[in-house]
Homo-oligomer: A and B are copies of this chain.
Amino acid sequence: VSEKIRIEEVARVAGVSPTTVSRVINKIPTVTEENRIKVESAIRKLNFKPNILAQRLAKGRADNIALVIPRYEGIFFSFYANQIIRGVGVACESLKLDLLLHLSSERNFIDVNSVGGVLFADVISNNEELKNVLSSDVPCIVMNHRFNKDANVDFIAIDNKKGAKEAVDYLIHLGHKNIAHITGNMITQSAQERIEGYKLALQENNIPVKEGLIIKGDYSRPSARRAMVTLLKIKPLPTAIFVGCDDMAQEVTSVLLENGLKVPDDVSIVGFDDNPICLAGSVALTTVRQPLVEMAAKAASLLNKMILSKTAKTSTKTILATDLIIRDSCRQI
């Protein structure tokens, strides 16, 4: 309900030039204490708020970044997306960046013109959109997806393969040899890398990889249930299962329980994520913690740096380590 009041009016009231007002707004130090106070009180008196659109146009900076979320079935139920949104959201607040949320779709690419930088929360079926951004001069970082050198795209990812390997190594060291794996959604790189880690651990320990013990899931609970039902038919039943994410791991535990099998007594389970629900089920779940929120925060702050130092084309290729969190869902055999 307030009249549009502009910097000019503030200047008049304070008895200075618009420039000086602008200086105060932008905290440019070269302003007399006296003038600063006059301007500040005028601002307060008039309840003046600078027009951000005008500021941005004049500065040539958008002060915002876009987070593009790949839109595949189930992304909205994933722990992953939640954590990324949270991490980026909180980081943006402290970086004083507006956060634009863009749900990827085939038709509407994000408008590179209106954002200072772009963060991709993984790249699934939106490769074209990524290319589009890369071909512009807008800074861009991809999360949780590695690219090879010549792709020349900055990324910050989790070491899924190593994380998976450590989980399976742990199982092996507990004496397990008949270890199954329920995968995540194979359209994601993370699921692919976790399979690799699983296989690698087996191979390094001279345990033959049996494709029949690798059941495809998609990170959802229903898929985990289906996978477990399939697994249940295998004789002898694996003594341990490395599951693609904690949500699925919990569902697997339930299915086992429904069939009179206990975790870890009958079957040992390791999940992935370190989702808080690990502590919710009947057994505290041993899992591979991946620093999702940290990754997101780091991505945001790196992107911010790239935006500010337009000149230096820094190259960001970061891989974050995971942690095996040992709880109660695995037993020595």
- Give Cα A105–Cα B276 distance, bound, in whole angstroms: 22
Within 8 Å CB of A216, what residues of B? none
This chain's copy number in the assembly:
2
When A77-B82, A136-B2 are in contact, do A53 and B114 touch as well, CB less than 8 Å?
Answer: yes
Range class of the A interface residue count: 35 or more
Pair A101/B103 contact, Cβ less than 8 Å: no
**Which residues of chain B are near A93, meaning CB under 8 Å?**
103, 105, 108
A113 proximity list for chain B (CB < 8 A): 49-52
* Alpha-carbon gap, A113 to B82, bound state (A): 28
A5 CB, min distance to chain B CBs, angstroms? 11
Say yes or no: B103 contacts A100, CB within 8 Å.
no
Least Cβ distance of A275 to chain B in Å? 8
Q: Are B279 and A222 in contact (CB under 8 A)?
A: yes
Binds B, one of A83-91, A148-156, A160-168, A304-312: A83-91
> How many Å from the CB of A93 to the closest CB on chain B?
6
A211: chain B residues within 8 A (beta carbon): none
Interface positions of A from 97 to 126, Cβ below 8 Å from B: 98-103, 105, 108, 111-114
Subset of 7 A-B contacts with CB under 8 Å:
A52-B111, A52-B114, A53-B114, A64-B100, A89-B102, A99-B100, A254-B257
Contact surface of A with B, Cβ cutoff 8 Å = 1-2, 49-54, 56-57, 62, 64, 67, 69, 76-77, 79, 81-83, 85-86, 89-90, 93, 98-103, 105, 108, 111-114, 135-137, 220-222, 224-225, 251, 254-255, 257-258, 275-277, 279-282
